[in-house]
Structure 1
């Protein structure tokens, strides 16, 4: 069967699209789309998949692990070393909520707009 759809983008609601795009740009190395602005910003990968960030007035950050404000969506990223990656991402502005469900296998962090994302060990070390 030929696929009828191909995933092209994942978009996160946030209060400041350019600021959140800058966080993920530093974290992933993806390029900022040249038409990004204060209403919608995007990062493009070489594979054609993009991560979008759209302004939502009165955005309520997820309250993970408290379900009062659901996590809405979360992304997972493979990293070479959990401790190093966590320290670096926290320097960029990521938060570290508690509790951590299995911090020896993965870490749950939050981006500057409060969206949870996971880092999972398993990426080859950079050359």
Structure 2
């Protein structure tokens, strides 16, 4: 029997509302802002819940950087890599590693600098 269940994955960021809106646009759902630096993404399809926490002095992870941790990343499953790439870039993501177009995944950074991958299903 497990000791606990996973409640949410929390991303530190400089602007929780803005990052919550980015992921709501990518994954669906609605954001709930507690007004005190914490935002939950509610109603997104399947998967683990996401929350966003304001972090004064936030420094985004570096990718790739052998001397610095990326902390973690999200793998987001998509039907069409090219279409999904256009969408996330329009929402404010930036490319970290998408040069190998033959791969089934590409790496991006969200607007706060967290790495995430679009992965073909």
Once the two structures are TM-superposed, the CA of residue 100 in structure 1 deviates from its matched residue by 5.0
Alignment partners' CA distance in 2, 1:3 and 1:86: 37
Residue 90 of structure 1: how far off its partner (Å): 0.2
Residue 59 of structure 1: aligned partner: 58
SS of residue in 1 equivalent to 2:95: coil
Q: Following the alignment from structure 1 to structure 2, what is the Cα–Cα distance between the partners of residues 102 and 72?
A: 25
Counterpart in the other structure of 2:84: 85
Alignment partner of 1:22 is 2:14: no
Aligned residue number for residue 5 of structure 2: 6
Q: Is the 8 A contact 1:43 1:52 kept in 2?
A: yes
Q: Secondary structure at the match of 1:32?
A: strand
Aligned to 2:40: 42
Q: How many matched pairs?
A: 120
Structure 1 residues 63, 99: CA separation in 2 closer, same or farther (over 3 Å shift)?
A: farther
TM-score normalised by structure 1 residue count: 0.83
Q: Give 5+ residue unaligned stretches, structure 2.
A: none
CA distance in structure 2 between the partners assigned to 1:36 and 1:101 by the alignment = 41
TM-score under structure 2 length normalisation? 0.87
The RMSD of aligned alpha carbons is 2.2
